[in-house]
Structure 1
Amino acid sequence: MTTTAPDVERIREQIGLLVRAGDTRQLKVLRDQLKTLVDRNALAGRTAKYGAQPVRWVEERLKQTVWSKQREILNAVRDNRRVAVRSGHGVGKSWTAALVACWWLDTHPPGEAFVVSTAPTFSQVRAILWRYIRKHHRAGQLAGRVNQTEWLIDDELVGYGRKPADTDTDGFQGIHARYVLVVLDEACGIPEQLWTAADALATGPDCRILAIGNPDNPASHFRKVCMPGGSWHQMSISAFDSPNLTGEDVPEEMGAALVGREWVEEKAREWGEENPVYRSKVLGEFSEDGPNQVVRGSDIAACRTAWETRPPADKFLPVELGVDVGGGGDETVIRERRGFQAGREWRAHTDRPEQIAPLILQAIRETGATAVKVDSIGIGFGVIGELRNAEGRGEHRARITAVNVAEAASQPSKFMNLRAELWWELGRGLSESRGWDLATMANADTTVAQLLEPRWDVDPKGRVRVEPKDEIRKRLGRSPDNADALLLAFYAAGRTRVRWLG
């Protein structure tokens, strides 16, 4: 209900009379009433001025500039009940989603409007979207107060971020308001059950759902939402849409925060333009899992989502290293593995054993690794010799294992060689079962891009054959050294079966 200027003046007169009379008992009540009336009048003015103009709201209330794709998102939420945005890396997707949430609550009456947000993990809810909401709230000096995941106006809860259990379809129940906005941030990692729960909140004609995220899982519900011919209003934001690549005029500070041409060109060389990670991170588009792809993007995506609760300590043992030794211009890569979790990485462009061995010794000291598995083909043989000599001098106590992936597999009737077994049982198997944690892995995008490259077929004996490294290098112009080091880190001689890690 909109109040009038006479209402405000009447209460001010009453306050003046009480002050002159020295009666303080009713002062607080009247002052609270006055604040409420003033706030309601201000809200009515903002609704009239900005309710249908979210871009103008950002520019005038927050004193911020929004670039063309951000303007498109803001207007799409204004005009459509359900909006799905596939977004590449570094284009400000969560920043924009936070703008939408703040505009929504600043132009709709408390009690009639509510914002709900979720993400694949609670830490993402708190550290991404709600961190930006807090920044916008401070910048515009908006009504109420915002903590880590809640917004309150006059002690009334008007918005929150939550991460219900993946199977909890009732996780958002109890919210009844005319104007409900649901934000599904990092939408690819949100399970279908929570989409169902979100949809149940936004049933009215004045409600909205914004789903926004990086399209990195072709088996996700987000992918279904983004299929052609659906009921959602769809958008895609590519790195090539960034003002830094189009030449769109934006403030220097904004340009510095957005993805640039140098990064895009670097990733084209590093990942390849047909790689699923490039298509997701750069183009903002989904990729299909190939029928002859050893490791599938839909499987690996789940392994990159952080665990909600920390697993028990024994899940982080043993601590071991895998070493893919560079030769012929390839990079030497050392990967740390702590139990089921992939960790740090060390790299060097050298094929000299006397230079590689000290790097491995450094990694042993930094990690406390008890075992090191080294690719023994070619130069690797010399590296193993250096490490065993260092062991004899008392420089480390780790067990050094030589791994020749060209040798026979532990299941010779199923796999052509040990390389095929490693890629199939570890790369494919651990990804399918979420048997490894790649969420905090160093150099994750490049390693995952390499994991998705090798192809497989069957040899004349009906055994699994995985594309050799030389053929991958010939086909793509680069070698999957980071991925090979990861597999070696998780390998135990003679035991590649997934059940070993269980």
Structure 2
Amino acid sequence: MMTSRKEGVMKFKSEEEYRAKGERVVKSWINDWNKFIREALGANLDRDQQAIVESVQHNPRTTVASGTARGKDFVTACAAISFLYLTPKWNAKKELVANTKVALTAPTDRQVKNIMMPEIARLYNAAKRRGVHLPGRLNAYDIRMDDVEWFLTGFKADEHNHEAWSGFHAVNTMFAVTEASGISDDTFGAIEGNLQGNSRILLVFNPNTTIGYAAKSQKGERWSKFRLNSLTAPNVIEKKLMIPGQVDYEWVIDKIANWCSPIRVDEVKEEEDDFQFEGQWYRPTDIFRIKVLGKFPKVGQDNLIPEQWIELAEQRWTEYHSSRTYEYYSDSLILGNDVAGMGRDSSVDCYRYANIVARFYETNSAGVADHMETAGRIANVLANDHEAISSIDTIGEGAGVYSRLVELGYEDRVISCKYSESAKSEFDQPLTDVTGQYEFANMRAYLFWAVRDWLNPKNNQNAMLPPNERLKEEAIEIKWKFQSNGSVIIEPKEDIKKRLGRSTDLFDALANTFHPISRLESVASPAGYF
């Protein structure tokens, strides 16, 4: 157990009173890790760093994308040492009954030995100077206790040696991973195998790339997500040294001058991550996004939809619905349906009213085709909303649903949406984008591009999407290119699934709502479509 001592401050009447006081202090630290870091370790964390520690205390998965010198390694050390000392439990006989193991890892041995472990040592020794005696022996790569089942250790993440992770089964287990974008997905697969019981994983990294496990952690629903922006660092805000070692005002000024372009206020575009600093607007380069803003580089030219467009649509949706006490939409409903079958878990319905996607509805089929159930659900919507239209993917599993709805008498209100068919109108004319310049290899490419044009802020469609991390993750993974004849084609679904780990079911359901037939003229769409 850890002990504390403050001589000359307070005298206790008995050893029991002294022990009781210590137990109350330790209990308060267990309940509030930031209090432990402040009082026991003497560390000065800023507000963003404190929020990260609080997340690690309460959430199994925390991911932090960070700008340069923003204190990501220091806050990682604070969280790791807090987990090490505040999660073990002992019985009345002072026997360890809930052990704790902490693993610190990074892509290189240098990062572990020269960056991570010195931060741990700094905190351990600071506590000792403050009269808080933390158990264990501090070594170059670890803190070892007398009980071999309670320790902190650091080592290089070797993608060829997954057995290195095999000894980390414990009641309380934490993996703190710095420079996480440089670690392979296979290694994270090995780490995932140990995430059970009271486990934690903390990823910290500079967002150098938009692919890989670390990048996905900033997009998925499983994670508590944070971003450390150098512009909001205390030293920068106060223009003086508040926290030693963190980024300072002069560094930021230099990077703005060299990595950004001044722009006028009428040139500001949110999708470009334009920002205001000291009264002037700037447009950042990719290196500024990564090193200062803690953001991913701007999406590549072959990516269909930038993440910023999705976030803007989600923000509009949230603002629109926050001012309404009930759900009502004046425009007609078009229901996009992506039907599950064997080997897939969910069917997805997308409810779009002109520029607003009200919601997505997912039903779990457990990999068993549920055609009649899906047909019944769609029929119920059509029966209760006589202006509604359903657009169903009829390549594969959706064909049976479409046929059943036709049998039920809805042939004029259901659309057979075939991705493989030609991207032509009912008058056999090539379908184009909003500018009239681009033509498409097939209907899939047309529909996917229609979503792109709908979300593109330049087209002023005021698109609104309900916040959904899975949809965002799907949308920003899709790539496109020009064919030799100049038409746009979307990459094969199999290629997307390899990167994403699943099908783009939500995005497909949304894309289906843009099917170009004359019966949908009443449904709003970007100019140039339908």
Q: TM-score, normalised by structure 2?
A: 0.44
Higher helix share: 1
Q: TM-score, normalised by structure 1?
A: 0.46
